[in-house]
Chain A
Amino acid sequence: MSESRNAILGKLRAGRDAHPLTPPESDFAVLRNKRWDGAERLERIKRMMEAVHTEFLETTEADWPADVQAFLTAQGTRNLLFGPATEAGGRLSSEWAASGMAGGPELIPYADRVETFKERLFDGIDAGITTTLGAIADTGSLIVWPTPEEPRLMSLVPHMHLALLRADALYDTFWQAMTENRWADGMPTNALLISGPSKTADIEQTLAYGVHGPKRLVVVIVR
C-alpha cells in the first residue's frame, strides 16, 4: 500500500511544483469580531437551542442535584446514567441518597466498559447526565469532551440527555472557544459540539426528533 502512498504524494508534488498556488491570506476578523455581552450570550444560546427543541432547566450550584431529581421524577424517568467518578457524579449520588425521595429515578453508574454494559445501555436506560465545557452563542452549541469518567455513549444512547452548563462558561464563537483554550495543543479522543436533540428532515423535509440519538436534550443551567 505504501506504493500507492508514494505514487500519490509524488504525483501531487509534481503537479503542485509545476504550477504552484499562492493562496490569499486567511483573515479571521469575521469570526474575531462576533461578540455578544454576557447576558446576551446566554439569551442567544437559549433562543437558538430552543428553536431546535432543546429544553432548559435553570438552577443554582447548591440546588442542581435536587432540582434534577425533582425534574426527572416529575417526568416519570425511571433511571439516570451518570459518571460516578466525576465531581458532579459524586454530588448526585450523595445528595440523592440523602434526600430519600421516594419513587424518584434510580442512579445507574457508567462504570464498566461498554462491552459488558451494552445490552443494558441500549435497552434499559431512560436518561444520561454529563457535564459540558461550556456553550457557544454564535450557533447555540454545547461543548462536550467525553472522558474515561464520562464516556461517549452517555450523551448518545439514552432517550434523554441532560447536560450541566455553567452560566459563566460561555463563548461567542466556536473559533473563539478553540483558540482561547488552545485546543490544538491536545485534542481528546472525541470532542463534540451538541446543538439539540438528534433530528432528521430526510422524509420530505419534515423535521422529526430522536431519530438515532436522544429524543430530548435538557440543558441544566447552573448559576
Chain B
Amino acid sequence: MGETSINFAKASSAALQDQQLRGNFRRAMDGLMSKRAVQFADTAEWNGVRTLGASVRLRALSKLPELLEKLEANCTKNGIQVHWASTTDEANAIVLSIMQRVNAKLVVKGKSMVSEEMHLNAFLEKHGIESLESDLGEYIVQLDEAMPSHIIMPAIHMNTKQIAHLFKQKIKEAEYTEDVAQLTDLARRVLRKKFATADVGISGVNMAVAETGTLCLVENEGNGRMSTTVPPVHIAVMGLEKVVEKLEDVPPVISLLTRSATAQPITTYVNMISSPRKEGEKDGPNEIHLVILDNGRSGIYADEELRNTLRCIRCGACMNHCPVYTKVGGHAYQAPYPGPIGSILMPQVEGLEKRGELPHACTMCNACVEICPVKIPIVEIMGRLRSEAVHPGDAVRGAGSHASKAEAMVWKGWSMTYASPLAYQFATALLAKLGNAAPASLPLLKEWTNVRAKPRFANRTLHALAREKGIPDV
C-alpha cells in the first residue's frame, strides 16, 4: 500500500468504539429503511419503475458520447456555456477562471457530490474565495470542518445536541438551543444574507437532458433554487455519466431517486434549468456554465462490467441498507462516496493503490443489490475489484498493488490441499487432533477471537463420520 492509502480497518474499528456515533447511525438508518419500504410497498409498481429506470440509465450509457455531444449542442443553443474537464484539477481551474473573470469573492453552493470529489471548497479558499455550503447538512459539516458522512444526509452522524453546541460555538449571533426549528431558523437568517450578496452560485446536477439541454436538480430546502437564481453567475458541475437521452426519461428516475433516498414521493423542489436569464426576464443568472467532469469515468466506461457503476443515480439507498455502513458510518470510508457505491466507485476513480481496501468493506450479503433502484450488480463488481487489487491488470488503476506474497502462498497451499485427497485427509486429521490446542492469541486468529468465541474443531472429521455410516470416500 502506498503512503496515501486509506486505512478503512483502523478508521472503522475506531468508529465501532464510538457508541454515540453508532446510536446516531442506527436510529437514522432504521428509520430510512422502514420508510422506504412503505414507498415501494406495491411490488408490481416497484418492479415496473425499477426496470424502466435501469433501462433509461443503460440506454443513456449505450449512447453516452453522442448524448454528451447533443447535450453540449442543446445547452449551447440555449445559452449555457459548456466546459469539459479530464481531471478534478482541470475542473477546479475552469471554475476558478470563471470566478476570477467576474471578480467573485463569495460563492454559495448547493449540495454537489462532484464538487466534494473536486475538493472545490478548499481549492477556492486557497485562492481567496469564500465558498459557503448552503444545504443545511453540508453547512453543518462545513462549520464542523468535517466531511459529509452520507451522500444524501451529510450531517447524519451528528445529533441535535452536537449541532446545537457547534452553532453556539461557530455562529456569532447564536444562542444555545436544542430546538430544531430555532436552529434551522438561525441557519436561514445567516444564509439568506449570503444568497443575496453572493457573486456566484454553484450547484450539482442530478440529471442533464440531452434532448432539451436541461439541467435537473432535486432538493427540499430551496437552497438549490437560491444558488441557481439569485447570484449573477451559475456554475453547474456534473460527472459525465449524468446525462439522460430524453425529457421523458426524467420522471421515472426522479421517482426512484427521491423514494429510495429519503422515502419521499418527490422532493419539495424539482428544478429544470434550461437557460440563463432571457431578454425581458427580471431574475435568474446572466451566465450559466456547465462543467462536465471525467476524472476516470471514461476509463470505467471502457470496461463492460465496471461500466455499470456509472448507472448510479446517487440515491444512497445502498448505504442505508448496508450492514457495514450502518455500523461504522460514512467517515470510516474517508471518501466523498461512502458505503457500497463508494466501495466500488472510489477504487475505480482514485486507483486501487489508494482505495484497494474499500471493496473488502463488504460482507457480500447482497442487500445493496436488492435495494439498488437501477439494479447495479454492486457485489459482483466488488468481487472483481478484490481480485484486481491483488492481480495485475489494466482495467483499474493500481491493479495488483495489494498483492501480498504471504496471502498468495496461503491460497496456493489451500488450493493444493483441496486438490489432493491425500493432503486434504492429512490436513483435516491434523486439525481434528491438534486444532483445538492452537491458542486464541495466534496472529490472524486473534482478530477473530477478539469479539467471538474461538471456533472448535470436531475431534473426528466429516469423512471419518461418513465412513462409519458406510458412505465410501470417492
Binding site for B on A (CB under 8 A): 1-2, 4-5, 7-9, 11-16, 18-31, 48, 52, 110-114, 117-119, 122, 138-141, 147-148, 151-153, 156, 173-175, 178-179, 183-184, 187-206, 208-214
Contact = CB atoms under 8 A, between A and B. Distances in A.
B248 A28 contact: yes
B183 interface: yes
Interface stretch (B8-16, B281-289, B365-373, B439-447): B281-289
5 contacts: A26-B55, A113-B283, A183-B212, A192-B225, A193-B269
B302 A14 contact: yes
B195 interface: yes
A1 B180 contact: no
Contact of B135 (A179, A199, A202): A202
B262 A26 contact: no
A199 B273 CA distance: 21
Q: Tell which of A12, A148, A174 has the most Cβ of chain B within 10 Å.
A: A12
A140 B265 contact: yes
B190 to A, nearest CB: 11
A189 B84 contact: no
B470 interface: no
B147 interface: no
Interface string B137-159: 10010000000000001111011
A74 to B, nearest CB: 23
A8 B240 contact: yes
Interface of B: 24, 27-28, 31, 45, 48-49, 51-52, 54-56, 58-59, 61-62, 64-65, 68-69, 83-86, 90, 94, 134-137, 140, 153-156, 158-160, 163, 180-181, 183-185, 187-188, 191-192, 195-196, 211-214, 220-223, 225-226, 229-230, 240, 246-252, 254-255, 262, 265-278, 280-284, 292, 294, 298-299, 301-304, 307
Contact of B188 (A15, A22, A141, A212): A212
Nearest to B45: A30
A152 B247 contact: no
Nearest to A5: B84
A203 B266 contact: no
Contact of B229 (A22, A139, A153, A209): A153
A197 B68 CA distance: 34
Contacts of B220: 198-201
A140 B268 CA distance: 10
A190 B284 contact: yes
Contacts of A29: 48
A200 B191 CA distance: 14
Q: Tell which of B154, B183, B280, B302 has the most Cβ of chain A within 10 Å.
A: B302
B302 A152 contact: no
Contact of A184 (B191, B221, B248): B248
Nearest to B48: A30
B281 A8 contact: no
B141 to A, nearest CB: 10
A192 B284 contact: no
Nearest to A203: B180
Contacts of A4: 84-86, 90, 294
Nearest to B300: A15
B84 A8 contact: yes
B225 A213 contact: yes
B86 A7 contact: yes
Contact of B86 (A8, A188, A199, A213): A8
B249 A26 contact: yes
Contact of A192 (B59, B159, B270): B270
B80 to A, nearest CB: 11
A213 B191 CA distance: 11
A148 B280 contact: yes
B265 A48 contact: yes
Contacts of B270: 141, 174, 192-193
